Amino acid sequence: MTHAQHTPQIAILGAGLIGAAWAALFQHHGADVRVWDPNADALAATAARMKAPLEQLAQVAPDAGPRGALTLCATLADAVTGADLIQENAPESIPVKHALYAQVEPLMAPSAVLASSTSALTWSELSPGLQDPARLITAHPFNPPHLVPLVEIYGTDAARITRAEAIYRAADRVPVRLKKDATGHIANRLASALWREAVFMVQDGIADVEAIDAALVNGPGLRWSVLGAHMAYHLGGGAGGMEGYLAHLGPSQERRWAALGAPTLSTQVQAELVAGVAREAAGRDISQLEATRDKALIAALRARKDAPHV
Amino acid sequence: MTHAQHTPQIAILGAGLIGAAWAALFQHHGADVRVWDPNADALAATAARMKAPLEQLAQVAPDAGPRGALTLCATLADAVTGADLIQENAPESIPVKHALYAQVEPLMAPSAVLASSTSALTWSELSPGLQDPARLITAHPFNPPHLVPLVEIYGTDAARITRAEAIYRAADRVPVRLKKDATGHIANRLASALWREAVFMVQDGIADVEAIDAALVNGPGLRWSVLGAHMAYHLGGGAGGMEGYLAHLGPSQERRWAALGAPTLSTQVQAELVAGVAREAAGRDISQLEATRDKALIAALRARKDAPHV
């Protein structure tokens, strides 16, 4: 193509931790970013909140080229007007988001995409907030958004989804498309299913909280960082692959699923979870744990560049 | 302590892929390894099977020091006599393992540990094969055993467990202790629970096989390689940690668990799984996929040394 490269124009609505992480990510990857928040103090804190993510992004993607422009916008119109992608990070409340969408929609360019970072809500719950629901997609990042590459996408307008995916890919994200609207998207459903069994093992006395976490981080978690779950069973089937696995172990797999637990978050189980993570944290506070996590994520992301996952 | 360092004496029973991986791991980390297999051809193939694991271990742990001795043993007695740890990798059959244990037990040193690599069977099923069940532990590695650090341990003799753990740690493994015998140990229960939801999403049409794998590898899988599931919810609770998370989201968490799926491996679902991994493999055969997995695992393990997981 011979037309001049278009610099993506990104509006970030909501300057909390998620919004600031998005802003840093897009700016680092050369997009022009306009941030708006209804709270003037939150807006004023944006640059401070972006500082650590920008420093981390410089380690993950040092060759990203020049940063885009960053503008703090006093009005919603300043942020949204002319934006290709409007990433919404409002509180997880349907009325709050609907009220915001009613303001945003008349300001949007006809081709623009309104992308909600929502974790807990669905496209079906949010789209009635627009005159034209096709303008909305859900685009759920996995925390922390500037480090974990996944963005889970659902919407009904294929053209807008394709344009949004291109913008996310240009910001070094991995967009993954749902075929059907679903609470929890993909990743939080998987996380919820895994944690259910983890909590069951605590409740049932099979293993301690910190033992389960150690098993995950040094076992399946490590492997799932390079190989998907379906693909792991494909390799587990040997030369026969997934077909061989299912032929030999399919029936026993259904029995294994039936034997999994359904825990209750009773007072006692909750106390064991709280005590267990306290033992595991071993005196480290949340910010220290997050710093260790981020450093390890950055190292893992850098390792991936030379040795891509399956 | 002032006594001379004892070189661990390891017997490997069964020279298949798992046995060869164990042999390479222990030899690389300086233990003396004696391998036995009832099949002379399998025994003769041991060195060839150990070649790739040994080359990979040289990349993961280049500073491990001099290799231990490797001996291929024509008789079970040659392998077991004088061994501190006997790692059993026989077929997953209770009668086969019981018959082997009946031969092994009289040859074992009184303090030695018989460790079964079993994935599908439990300590309670296997221990009746010994006169003294305290000699047996289950010590389940996660595939591939020389790369993934986890070894899941259950037994009833605390002293033997402690000695076995020291031997595994000296071989750069992370032993994790179960408090109670459980089918699937910890890791395969977690993997089974996660895969159940992954298969449900395929069955329900929420997402394609390859999209689910991409979401896992670029989202929760990556994060679980640096942070356990319980700890992730601790950080997800913000300043309140796990306690705050449970207070705010515990009730909705139980609803989310109730909303997870229970798929059936119907002919149609099986066909979708097979077709999905074929699309994801994109023409790569099993050995190519394994090579990519191993290269990525090696890079991830090297990254971990500078930036340890939480």
Question: What is the DSSP secondary-structure string of A207-234?
Answer: S-HHHHHHHHHHTHHHHHTTS-HHHHHH
Helix (H) or strand (E) holding A137: strand A136-141
Residues of A in contact with B250 (CB under 8 A): 265, 270
Give the fold, CATH level 3, of A187-306.
Answer: N-(1-d-carboxylethyl)-l-norvaline Dehydrogenase; domain 2 (1.10.1040)
Backbone angles phi, psi at B20, to 5 degrees: -65, -35
> What's the rounded Cα separation, in Å, for the pair B201 and B191?
15
Q: Which pLDDT belongs to residue B226? A: 98
Contacts of A299 in chain B (CB under 8 A): 303-304, 306-307
Smallest Cα distance from A49 to chain B, Å: 15
Report which of B194, B218, B201, B189 is spatially closest to residue B273, judged by C-alpha positions: B201
Check residue A43 and give its pLDDT: 97
Q: Check whether B224 has a pLDDT greater than 50.
A: yes
Q: Which of B86, B90, B69, B68 is nearest to B77 (CA)?
A: B86
Of B177, B218, B239, the CB nearest to A286: B239
Whole-angstrom distance, CA of residue A7 vs CA of residue A65:
13
* Structure confidence at residue A1 (pLDDT): 40
Residue A40 has pLDDT above 60, yes or no: yes
CA distance B105 to B99: 10
Alpha-carbon distance of A275 to A146, in angstroms, equals 30
Judging contacts by C-beta atoms under 8 Å, the chain A residues touching residue B226 are: 217, 292-293, 296-297, 300
Closest residue to A228, CB basis, from B217, B225, B310: B217
Under 8 Å between Cβ of B181 and B137: no
- Interior angle at CA A145, CA A142 and CA A149, nearest 5: 75
ipTM: 0.97
Say yes or no: A246 contacts chain B, CB-CB below 8 A: yes
The CA-CA-CA angle for residues A223, A224, A228, to 5°, reads 120
Rounded distance, CA A66 to CA A31, Å?
9
List the single residue in B198, B205, B310 with the smallest CB-CB distance to A190.
B198
Write the residue in A238, A239, A253 that is nearest to B265 by C-beta.
A253
Q: What's the confidence (pLDDT) of residue B250?
A: 86
Instruction: Name the helix (H) or strand (E) containing A34.
Output: strand A32-36
Q: What whole-number distance in Å separates Cα of residue A205 and Cα of residue A208?
A: 7
How distant is the Cα of A41 from the closest Cα of chain B, in angstroms? 20
Residue A250 has pLDDT above 90, yes or no: no
Give the residues across from A282 on adjacent strands. none
Judge whether residue A3 has pLDDT over 60. Answer: no
- What is the CATH number assigned to the segment(s) B9-177? 3.40.50.720
Min CA distance, B29 vs chain A (Å)?
18
Distance CA B8, CA A1 (A): 65
How far apart are alpha carbons B135 and A261 in whole angstroms? 30
Cβ under 8 Å to B: A residues 131-160: 142-143, 148-150, 152
Measure B14 CA to nearest chain A CA, in Å.
18
Q: Which of residues 49-108 of A touch B (CB under 8 A)?
A: none
Please give the torsion angle defined by the CA atoms of residues B128, B130, B131 and B136, in that order, rounded to the nearest 10 degrees. -100
Strands B9-13 and A32-36: what pairing? Answer: unpaired
Tell me where in chain A the CATH 3.40.50.720 domain(s) lie: 9-177
Instruction: Using a CB–CB cutoff of 8 Å, tell me whether B276 touches chain A.
Output: yes
| Average pLDDT of every residue of chain A | 96
Task: Give the mean pLDDT of A151-168.
Answer: 98
The whole-angstrom separation of Cα A169 and Cα B24 is 41
Between vectors from CA A201 to CA A196 and to CA A202, what angle results, nearest 5°? 100
Instruction: Answer yes or no: is pLDDT of A65 > 80.
Output: yes
Chain B residues with CB-CB distance to A204 below 8 A: 180, 182
User: Which residue in chain B has the smallest CA separation from A228?
Assistant: B213
Give residue A238's pLDDT band: very low, low, confident or very high (50, 70, 90). confident
CB-CB neighbors (< 8 A) of B275 in chain A: none
Residues 6+ away with beta carbon under 8 Å from B159:
none
Q: How far apart are the two ends of chain B, measured CA to CA in Å?
A: 31
How is residue B32 written in tokens? 């003396």
Max Cα-Cα span within chain B = 65
- Alpha-carbon distance A243 to A226, whole Å? 22
Look at the alpha carbons of B220, B221, B226, B231 in this order and tell me if their dihedral is positive or negative: positive
Other C-beta atoms within 10 Å of B176: how many? 27
The pLDDT, as a whole number, for residue A205 is: 98
Measure the CA–CA gap between B276 and A222, rounded to whole angstroms. Answer: 22
Q: Taking residues A242-268, report their average pLDDT.
A: 93
Judge whether B249 and B243 are in contact, CB under 8 Å.
Answer: no
Q: How far apart are CA A308 and CA A288, in angstroms?
A: 29
- Whether A181 has a pLDDT exceeding 60, the answer reads yes
**pLDDT, tens only, B127-171:** 999 999 999 999 999 999 999 999 999 999 999 999 999 999 999
